[in-house]
Amino acid sequence: MTVSSELSGRAQRLGEALAGERAVTVRIDRLWKLFAQSSPDVAREPAKRQLLVDALSELETSGLLSVPKGRGSWDRTGHPPLPRFVRRSVERVPSSAVSDRLRYPWVPALSWAASERVTASQREALMAVNAWLARHPQPPEPLPHRERSLEIFGNEKRLDELFTTPLFAKGKLTLDLLCAYVVHPPFVWRAVSGAVGSDLLVIENHNTFDSVCLALEHHVAAGTSCPFRFVAYGAGNAFEASVTYVADLDPVPERVRYFGDLDSEGAAIPARASARAIATHLPAVEPHLGLYRLLLAHGTPQPASLPAVRTTWLGELQPQVDALFASGHRLAQEWVNVAVLSHDESWLKV
């Protein structure tokens, strides 16, 4: 399955991910997983179902896969309908091509590449890595992964693309082999003087971040116990990427709690960040239930501009939030202002 360079970037990445599958038939649950891995941005798209359909249509038009014809083989519970499975167009590799691959002068660390089934673009990437390794028989000084990617491929984002392919499976390419490391995107944070705990509190918007910091100073000065060693500004969607910076805090927080807007994105951002944190062995991102209760108590609902996206991340408050979303409304976290935060200690005891 050779992925055409004429496809859109999203379809091309999905095609490369499908090319790494062993099975010819790929079912819809696996398709969603490959789509999310190859295009992480789709998690934030309300129209992600349509985006998957478009990518599959491109791949089908290019002859890289086929979709079922029977009506019963399509999921029609949403719009547009999705195939319950697709079948990859498996290429028959001529024996001469196999011989050429076996004869290629792979360095010992890439000896596995001689028998690996790869796409044309993945083979090109492996050859670039092979050439780089051959030029560096002794490991060079480690570099951030995008700087190393630029050095090897002439494209600072190529390694990010390869991370989601089978080339980075166990026993194959690794960051250690490339003498590279991932730099955690930083977030803005403040240490809370006088805090007795080691928790981290993350605030979605910058006005509320400032209000929380001021209120914490007020309560600590009054002798109230504070469980938060750090307060961070999540900066909306940026927190999904910057959550791994939690590992660079000293001490690493035992708990990470979050407070944001009660709308589709406000509920989805911390849920996605939590999944990323757990995948890197960091604490899960939990909702700060006390602050969300204050928002539900003090906020005046406003019409929502985006359709509701249900998430179970909010735990025991989920029924109230579902009702808010179902009514077509949202709550901005700024309703919990510095006056509310300073006159109410309950959120420090949850």
CATH number of the domain bearing residue 24: 1.10.10
Question: What total number of domains does the chain contain?
Answer: 3
Kindly tell me if the per-residue pLDDT of 3 is higher than 70: no
Kindly tell me if the per-residue pLDDT of 49 is higher than 50: yes
Question: Are 171 and 235 members of one domain?
Answer: no
Q: For residues 320 and 334, what is the distance between their CA atoms, to the nearest angstrom?
A: 19
Can you read off the two tokens belonging to residue 90? 């498996």
Helix ranges (H only) for the chain are 9-19, 28-38, 48-61, 95-103, 120-135, 145-153, 158-162, 206-221, 239-242, 264-279, 289-298, 318-326, 338-343
Confirm whether 2 is domain-assigned: no
The percent of residues in the chain predicted with pLDDT above 90, rounded, is: 49
Kindly tell me if the per-residue pLDDT of 307 is higher than 70: yes
Q: What number is the average pLDDT over the span 270-275?
A: 91
The answer to whether 287 and 317 are in contact (CB under 8 A) is yes
Question: Are 330 and 259 members of one domain?
Answer: yes
* Model pLDDT, residue 96: 44
Question: Are 131 and 166 members of one domain?
Answer: yes
Confirm whether 58 is domain-assigned: yes
| 5-19, 37-51, 83-97, 218-232: the lowest-pLDDT one | 83-97
Question: Are 235 and 292 members of one domain?
Answer: yes
- Report the 10 Å Cβ neighbour count for 293: 17
Kindly tell me if the per-residue pLDDT of 7 is higher than 80: no
Question: Are 162 and 193 members of one domain?
Answer: no
* Model pLDDT, residue 85: 92
pTM passes above 0.95: no
Q: What number is the average pLDDT over the span 83-112?
A: 72
Can you read off the two tokens belonging to residue 284? 């899960």
* Model pLDDT, residue 142: 94
Question: Are 220 and 84 members of one domain?
Answer: no
* Model pLDDT, residue 128: 94
C-alpha distances in angstroms, 234 versus 222, 244, 284? Answer: 27, 12, 15
* Model pLDDT, residue 255: 94
Confirm whether 93 is domain-assigned: no
DSSP structure class, residue 31: H
* Model pLDDT, residue 207: 96
Q: State pLDDT tens for residues 180-203.
A: 998 878 889 999 988 778 899 999
Domain boundary among 63, 88, 113: 88
Confirm whether 78 is domain-assigned: yes
* Model pLDDT, residue 10: 85
The answer to whether 256 and 202 are in contact (CB under 8 A) is yes
The confidence band for 2, taking pLDDT boundaries of 50, 70 and 90, is low
Question: Are 170 and 271 members of one domain?
Answer: no
Domain boundary among 120, 151, 181: 181
Question: Are 171 and 224 members of one domain?
Answer: no
Average pLDDT, the chain: 87
Q: What number is the average pLDDT over the span 36-46?
A: 78
The percent of residues in the chain predicted with pLDDT above 70, rounded, is: 93
Q: Is 194 helix (H, G, I), strand (E, B) or coil?
A: coil
CATH number of the domain bearing residue 343: 3.40.50
How wide is the angle at C-alpha 278 spanned by C-alphas 283 and 48, nearest 5°? 130
Q: What number is the average pLDDT over the span 306-332?
A: 87
Q: For residues 153 and 326, what is the distance between their CA atoms, to the nearest angstrom?
A: 48
Confirm whether 28 is domain-assigned: yes
- Report the 10 Å Cβ neighbour count for 223: 7
Confirm whether 150 is domain-assigned: yes
Kindly tell me if the per-residue pLDDT of 1 is higher than 60: no
Kindly tell me if the per-residue pLDDT of 93 is higher than 70: no
Question: Are 218 and 147 members of one domain?
Answer: no
Question: Are 58 and 148 members of one domain?
Answer: no
**Where do we find the tokens 């590992």?**
247
Closest CA to 39 of 50, 51, 57: 51
**Which of 101-105, 263-267, 272-276, 282-286: highest mean pLDDT?**
282-286
The confidence band for 120, taking pLDDT boundaries of 50, 70 and 90, is confident
The confidence band for 311, taking pLDDT boundaries of 50, 70 and 90, is confident
Kindly tell me if the per-residue pLDDT of 102 is higher than 60: no
Kindly tell me if the per-residue pLDDT of 123 is higher than 60: yes
Domain boundary among 57, 88, 119: 88
* Model pLDDT, residue 95: 43
The confidence band for 333, taking pLDDT boundaries of 50, 70 and 90, is very high
More confident residue, 40 or 148: 148
- Containing domain of residue 172, as a range? 98-181
Kindly tell me if the per-residue pLDDT of 84 is higher than 50: yes
